């Protein structure tokens, strides 16, 4: 009898364990014509956890076996499916209506200019009366018995800062080019989000230097006294064969994670009403729990939240008490207005209270950037962050969500707050930023990093810095240690590229006349320039994290170093730059095409252990198809 009871108990426990099995479920959501539905919601019933379908209607979600998934899209009937396998394809049916009813469905988009001058999109609503709501993937004009009224709602209020791309500069007029070496990569993942939704990204979303620096490159570690290393490579420009392209690579010393100093983290979390959707607060919570899993006992975490007001929900807690930190994260819910400025002020106060003199002190801000109470404009936020910059506390800005994302504000915060900016569009990106790149994201080895390039007018007619428009500095700023610049984290690789017009090749992009009082003959009379075989010299200044005086490195690039065959890394970087210029419809895209960008990218797939480069190829192929 006892044996039977034991067997029954065992079977019951086994059954419960099997039912609690966590599955990674994938599949495709389509409409009645088998066309993929882009942006359909897939949520776990009874929770706020979920995801959305990509440009192919595909989705991926982690869910416990036996739970129910709800599939929904405006204009279609919701469908609930119990999870029993890892593959689940769903076909949604149009929502049926009577003849005198109106069904509102999302359809189409229209550009508008926001008050900051940035381009975003405004959603249309098609109010339809008839047998069924029209499919966004079909031609609703051919459907019988359907009337349509288009109403415009400002549902999409995303904001992006506008900028003019760098132009060619005549070396005879200005031989020095100076910029801050930052390593943000938010533009790439934000671009990916748009492409996966079946939309071509707006041009102001595209910051080419951030796209190039999303990827790591095979640069050797620094071996000397300096924590950074300069590497250069020059080749023929792939979109203009008469020009040269020079790559400047910088590698920061990599410190093993076990040797990183203890961290004093403040998680600053936006819990306002705008953060309610699954790809915002719920994704924030999942992201921070990934980071929490990798904390050490010496690390400490405080949690500050803000909505209509700001408050501390978790005092400084040891990383060893992971369960307590996770419970505090799980208990967060969204609602109310957005007092972001008050939240930032409180976070700095908490970080200063728990400051580690020899540690890593950092605020991790998670938000969609939609501040609407108190300090909220980019200028106000810039002044606030600049006032906190000398505290020794760094700022990491993680952007989330869509529809009201304020990229311009988050860029300001990251650039002015001695920090970095990433856009988290899915849990895989959160894992990349917060786990895979923990050291480079969270621990600074060099601050106020500046680059100044001096071009030799004997060999360079004109030059153009590709990207970095928001990071340009005056030439005098290079030697001014009071001027703020970018930060490099442990193991970071940073890449900048110049397109160079050699002497003897005409500058067809608005070059200037010869100077009347500083003639070319006078320039050629200098014996050092005449004898030099240097095309340019790269100079870099940086400060150690706890120092106020900069140190300088200097590396020349010889004319003979220009190679016809670029390395795999440079080919890939050039492919990303070409792709970015095409998306921006750049004046300098030359003979670049999506086909050429794809060819170059495929030749540069060598260093791709994580598959990020192959993902870029897939995205580029998708945009190429959109252009047909």
Confidence of residue 123 (pLDDT cuts 50, 70, 90): very low
Roughly how many angstroms between the first and final C-alpha of the chain, as a whole number?
73
- Could you tell me if 453 and 592 lie in one domain? yes
Would you say 572 and 605 are in contact if contact means Cβ atoms under 8 Å apart?
Answer: yes
pTM of the shown model: 0.74
Which residue shows structure tokens 């670029």? 566
Select the more confidently predicted residue: 193 or 152. 193
- Could you tell me if 479 and 609 lie in one domain? yes
Domain membership flag for residue 160: no
pLDDT digits (tens, 9 = 90+) for 125-175: 333 333 333 333 333 333 334 333 333 344 578 888 888 999 999 999 899
pLDDT at position 108 over 50: no
Q: Is 603 exposed, middle or buried (0-12, 13-18, 19+ CB in 10 A)?
A: middle
Pairing relation of β-strands 263-270 and 244-252? Answer: unpaired
Q: How far apart are CA 121 and CA 71, in angstroms?
A: 25
User: If DSSP codes are grouped into helix, strand and coil, which group holds residue 588?
Assistant: coil
- Could you tell me if 614 and 494 lie in one domain? yes
Q: How far apart are CA 391 and CA 387, in angstroms?
A: 9
pLDDT at position 101 over 80: no
- Could you tell me if 179 and 135 lie in one domain? no
Beta bridge partners of 542: 551
**533: Cα within 13 Å, side-chain hemisphere:** 5
- Could you tell me if 474 and 602 lie in one domain? yes
Contacts of 474 (CB under 8 A, 6+ apart): 178
Average pLDDT, integer, range 386-408: 85
pLDDT attached to residue 186: 92
pLDDT attached to residue 35: 83
- Could you tell me if 63 and 116 lie in one domain? no
Range with the lowest mean pLDDT among 119-133, 214-228, 304-318, 509-523? 119-133
Q: What is the CATH number of the domain that holds 415?
A: 3.40.50.410
Average pLDDT, integer, range 66-77: 84
Select the more confidently predicted residue: 447 or 41. 447
User: If DSSP codes are grouped into helix, strand and coil, which group holds residue 623?
Assistant: helix
Domain membership flag for residue 118: yes
pLDDT digits (tens, 9 = 90+) for 220-274: 999 889 999 999 999 999 999 999 999 999 999 998 878 888 999 999 999 988 8
Residue 560 sits at φ, ψ, to 5 deg, of -75, -10
- Could you tell me if 333 and 411 lie in one domain? yes
Domain membership flag for residue 280: yes
How many domains does the structure of the chain reveal? Answer: 4
Q: Is 151 exposed, middle or buried (0-12, 13-18, 19+ CB in 10 A)?
A: exposed
Q: For residues 411, 413, 415 and 418, what is the CA-based torsion angle, rounded to 10 degrees?
A: -150
- Could you tell me if 228 and 327 lie in one domain? no
Residue 63 sits at φ, ψ, to 5 deg, of -150, 150
- Could you tell me if 281 and 351 lie in one domain? yes
Q: How far apart are CA 298 and CA 211, in angstroms?
A: 35
Select the more confidently predicted residue: 334 or 191. 191
- Which tokens go with 119? 């381009």
Q: Which domain holds residue 189?
A: 169-255+446-512+528-626
- Which tokens go with 410? 């988050």
Domain membership flag for residue 2: no
- Which tokens go with 285? 């919570």
């Amino acid at each position: 009898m006892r044996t039977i009871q034991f067997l029954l108990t065992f079977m019951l426990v086994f059954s419960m364990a099997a039912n609690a099995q966590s599955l990674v479920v994938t599949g495709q959501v389509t409409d009645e014509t088998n066309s993929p539905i882009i942006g359909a919601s897939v949520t776990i019933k009874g929770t706020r956890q979920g995801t959305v379908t990509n440009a192919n209607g595909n989705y991926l979600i982690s869910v416990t076996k036996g739970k129910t998934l709800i599939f929904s899209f405006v204009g279609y009937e919701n469908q609930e499916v119990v999870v029993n396998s890892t593959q689940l394809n769903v076909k949604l049916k149009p929502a049926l209506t009577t003849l005198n009813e109106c069904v509102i469905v999302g359809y189409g988009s229209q550009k508008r200019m926001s008050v900051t001058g940035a381009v975003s999109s405004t959603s249309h609503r098609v109010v339809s009366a008839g047998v069924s709501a029209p499919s966004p993937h079909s031609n609703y004009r051919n459907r019988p018995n359907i009337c349509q009224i288009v109403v415009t709602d400002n549902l999409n209020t995303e904001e992006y800062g506008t900028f003019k791309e760098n132009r060619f500069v005549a070396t005879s007029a200005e031989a020095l080019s100076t910029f801050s070496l930052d390593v943000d990569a938010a533009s790439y993942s934000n671009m990916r989000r748009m492409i996966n939704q079946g939309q071509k990204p707006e041009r102001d979303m595209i910051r080419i230097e951030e796209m190039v620096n999303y990827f790591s490159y095979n640069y050797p570690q620094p071996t000397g006294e300096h924590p950074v290393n300069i590497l250069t490579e020059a080749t023929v420009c792939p979109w203009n064969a008469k020009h040269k392209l020079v790559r400047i690579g910088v590698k920061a010393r990599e410190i093993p994670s076990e040797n990183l100093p203890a961290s004093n983290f403040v998680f600053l979390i936006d819990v306002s009403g705008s953060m309610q959707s699954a790809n915002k607060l719920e994704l924030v919570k999942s992201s921070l729990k990934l980071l929490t899993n990798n904390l050490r006992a010496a690390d400490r975490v405080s949690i500050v939240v803000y909505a209509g007001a700001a408050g501390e929900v978790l005092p400084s807690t040891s990383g060893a008490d992971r369960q307590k930190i996770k419970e505090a994260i799980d208990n967060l819910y969204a609602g109310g207005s957005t007092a972001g400025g008050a939240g930032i002020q409180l976070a700095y106060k908490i970080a200063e209270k728990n400051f580690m003199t020899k540690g890593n002190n950092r605020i991790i801000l998670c938000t969609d950037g939609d501040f609407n109470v108190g300090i909220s404009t980019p200028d106000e936020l810039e002044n606030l962050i600049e006032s906190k910059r000398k505290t020794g506390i760094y700022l990491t800005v993680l952007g989330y969500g869509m529809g009201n994302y304020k990229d311009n504000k988050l860029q300001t915060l990251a650039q002015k707050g001695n920090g970095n900016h990433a856009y988290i569009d899915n849990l895989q990106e959160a894992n990349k930023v917060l786990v895979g790149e923990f050291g480079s994201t969270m621990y600074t080895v060099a601050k106020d990093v500046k680059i100044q390039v001096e071009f030799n007018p004997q060999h360079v007619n004109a030059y153009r810095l590709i990207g970095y428009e928001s990071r340009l500095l005056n030439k005098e700023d290079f030697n001014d240690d009071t001027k703020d610049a970018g930060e490099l984290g442990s193991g970071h690789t940073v890449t900048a590229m110049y397109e160079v017009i050699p002497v003897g090749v005409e500058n067809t992009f608005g070059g200037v006349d010869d100077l009347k009082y500083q003639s070319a003959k006078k320039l050629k009379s200098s014996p050092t320039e005449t004898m030099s075989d240097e095309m340019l010299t790269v100079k870099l200044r940086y400060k150690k994290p706890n120092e106020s005086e900069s140190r300088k490195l200097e590396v020349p690039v010889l004319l003979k170093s220009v190679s016809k065959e670029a390395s795999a890394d440079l080919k890939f970087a050039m492919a990303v730059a070409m792709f970015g210029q095409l998306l921006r419809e750049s004046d300098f895209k030359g003979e670049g095409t999506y086909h050429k960008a794809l060819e170059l990218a495929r030749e540069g797939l060598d260093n791709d252990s994580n598959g990020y480069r192959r993902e870029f190829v897939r995205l580029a192929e998708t945009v190429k198809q959109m252009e047909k």
